[in-house]
Amino acid sequence: MSKKYKLKKFLVRRYQILATILLILSAGLVLLPKYKKNEGINPDVFVKNAMNTERYISTDILVDRMINQDPSILLIDTRSEKEYEDFTLPGAINVPLKNLLEDDFNNYINQGAYDVVLFSNDNLYADQAWMLGNRLGYKNLYVLEGGLNQWFKTIVNPAEPEETMPKEAFDLYAFRKAAGMYFGIGIVENELADNKKENTKPAPAKKVIPVQKKKKGAPEGGC
Amino acid sequence: MGPLIPNGLIPTEWNFIIALIIGFFFGFILEASGFSSSRKLMGVFYGYDFAVLKVFFTAAAVSVIGLYYMDYLNWLDISKLYVHPTYLWAAIIGGVIMGIGFLAGGFCPGTSLTAVAIGKIDGIVYTIGLMLGIFIFSEFFPIIEPFFLKSYLGHITLADSFGISPYWIIFIFTIIAVVAFYFADIIRNRVKKVFY
């Protein structure tokens, strides 16, 4: 048998061979062992994000944005409901860490309209919430550095600078004092009692538009 | 990794350029394989040429198997691919109208354009009719809109509506395709040869 003849004999059966290849490949899909896929971003990207400190926003910057009534910030209190009722930042929304991924709460952090600032007593809960959110690919998540403890240290009760300190320290102190005044810290007790009714009113919760699952109108087509 | 554009590996702006290039080659290959001839396309209905059936079935089978292997190997996130929304009754009626048009005119929309490209008069007439149909549909859309939107089922696939694994659907689909090819060949051998 010549080579040419062999090839010819092979090519006569080309459709059967191609059909068999298709069948084997599709059967392969059925037979392959299944595994659960990771949701969200790649682990290496996640590690890189987690090492990065860009997610931290300092209390001074946050206060500056709040006083300037920046409409794009959304404060999220990740502590428990009880702690939230005792004290929270003005305008903050309570999303307890354990409820973070439930539908009612998830909409607050999974959206593209606001810069979401997560905070807790320290960084701990807020960082955990950030990790969960970042892992799932949520955008614009920030963590208040030092949390409410830092808030008390810097805004509510800022440390007076010493005389030998540079001018910047005094400016910062003045800024923090003024910011504290803005939030009603240092107002005399009876004045506070007068305004108590107003003060106890909860700040109006921001309206949050949840991210719609993106199904872009891709170009359509048939044959 | 993939899909490349939604994952930002290729900027979104390239979308249309890539679509244009793919469309160019799609049209070229359609023409080159003789799909600009309405006689060849009509062969499916009269049983003397099953090229259309074979080509589109093979294309669907190869791409779906390839995509799911890529998904399995994590090269591609299949959930990020665009799934066309299903408007059940609108699709059924649209399909019937399209079928009648296909049978009467001898082209489907894509192939009619390849026929225009090589200057076929029937293709040109067909394309004018196509544009007219689009115009009429668009103008009357407010009237038929309630019906059009009524049977909206969302971005579903066969796997969603039957509740079985997509792998099984692909396997069954491939078997159907191979069986269809086999019977298509039998029919073609029995039908009188037509030269065109």
A223 contacts on B by Cβ (under 8 Å)? 56, 108-111
Do residues B19 and A220 touch, judged by C-beta distance below 8 A? Answer: no
Residues B161-188 have pLDDT tens digits of 888 889 999 999 999 999 999 999 899 8
Distance from CA of A8 to the nearest CA of B (A): 20
Nearest to A177 by CA among A189, A192, A160: A160
Closest CB to A216 among B72, B82, B168: B82
Amino acid found at A108: Y
pLDDT grade, residue A161 (50/70/90)?
confident
Listed in sequence order, the residues at least 6 apart from A112 whose beta carbon sits closer than 8 Å to its beta carbon are: A139, A140, A211
- Determine if the peptide bond prior to A90 is cis (ω within 30°): no
Q: What is the enclosing helix (H) or strand (E) of A117?
A: strand A115-119
pLDDT grade, residue A223 (50/70/90)?
low
Q: What is the enclosing helix (H) or strand (E) of B87?
A: strand B86-87
Long-range pairs for A16-25 at CB < 8 Å and ≥24 separation?
A19/B178, A19/B181, A22/B58, A22/B61, A22/B62, A22/B65, A22/B174, A22/B177, A22/B178, A23/B174, A23/B175, A23/B178, A25/B65, A25/B69, A25/B174
Closest CB to B65 among A19, A26, A215: A26
Pull the structure tokens for residue B121: 């008069």
Strands B152-154 and B86-87: antiparallel
Listed in sequence order, the residues at least 6 apart from A3 whose beta carbon sits closer than 8 Å to its beta carbon are: none
Cα(B65)–Cα(B37) distance, rounded to whole angstroms? Answer: 30
Cβ density class B141-175: b for 16+ within 10 Å, e for less: eeeeeeebeeeeeeeeeeeeeeeeebbebbbebbe
Residues A177-206 have pLDDT tens digits of 888 888 877 665 455 555 544 444 455 555
Listed in sequence order, the residues at least 6 apart from B53 whose beta carbon sits closer than 8 Å to its beta carbon are: B44, B180, B181, B184
- Going A221 to B1 to B5 to B9, the CA torsion angle's sign is negative
For the CA atoms of A164, A167, A169, A174, the dihedral, rounded to the nearest 10 degrees, stands at 120
Q: How many whole angstroms from its chain centre is CA B45? A: 17
Burial status of residue B34 (CB atoms within 10 A of its CB: 0-12, 13-18, 19 or more): middle
Amino acid found at A145: E
CB atoms within 10 A of CB A124: 12
- Going A144 to A148 to A150 to A153, the CA torsion angle's sign is positive
pLDDT grade, residue B120 (50/70/90)?
very high
Q: What are phi and psi of B95, to 5 degrees?
A: -65, -40
Q: What is the enclosing helix (H) or strand (E) of B171?
A: helix B166-190
Residues B29-75 have pLDDT tens digits of 989 988 988 888 888 888 888 988 998 899 999 999 999 999 888 88
Side-chain-facing half-sphere of B175: CA atoms under 13 Å: 7
Cα(B2)–Cα(A103) distance, rounded to whole angstroms? Answer: 28
Q: What are phi and psi of A71, to 5 degrees?
A: -75, -10
Residue to substitute from A26, A31, A34, A214, interface B, most B β-carbons within 10 A: A26
Distances (CA, A) of B168 to A17, A80, A181, B158, B175: 22, 46, 67, 11, 11
Q: Judge whether B159 is closer than 8 Å to chain A, CB to CB.
A: no
**Taking CA atoms, what residue in A is nearest to B113?**
A223
Pull the structure tokens for residue B38: 């309405």
For the CA atoms of B160, B162, B163, B166, the dihedral, rounded to the nearest 10 degrees, stands at -70
Pull the structure tokens for residue B131: 């544009």
Q: Do B174 and A216 touch (CB under 8 A)?
A: no
Ordered structural domains, chain A, with CATH: 43-152 (3.40.250.10), 158-202 (no CATH)
Predicted pLDDT at B25:
94
Evaluate if pTM is beyond 0.90.
no
Predicted pLDDT at B96:
95
Domain segments of chain B as ranges: 14-40+84-156, 47-78+168-196
Whether B22 has a pLDDT exceeding 50, the answer reads yes
**Taking CA atoms, what residue in A is nearest to B179?**
A19
Predicted pLDDT at A214:
45
Q: Of B79 and A28, which is predicted with more confidence?
A: A28
Whether A217 has a pLDDT exceeding 50, the answer reads no
Q: Do A26 and B19 touch (CB under 8 A)?
A: no
A222 contacts on B by Cβ (under 8 Å)? 108-110
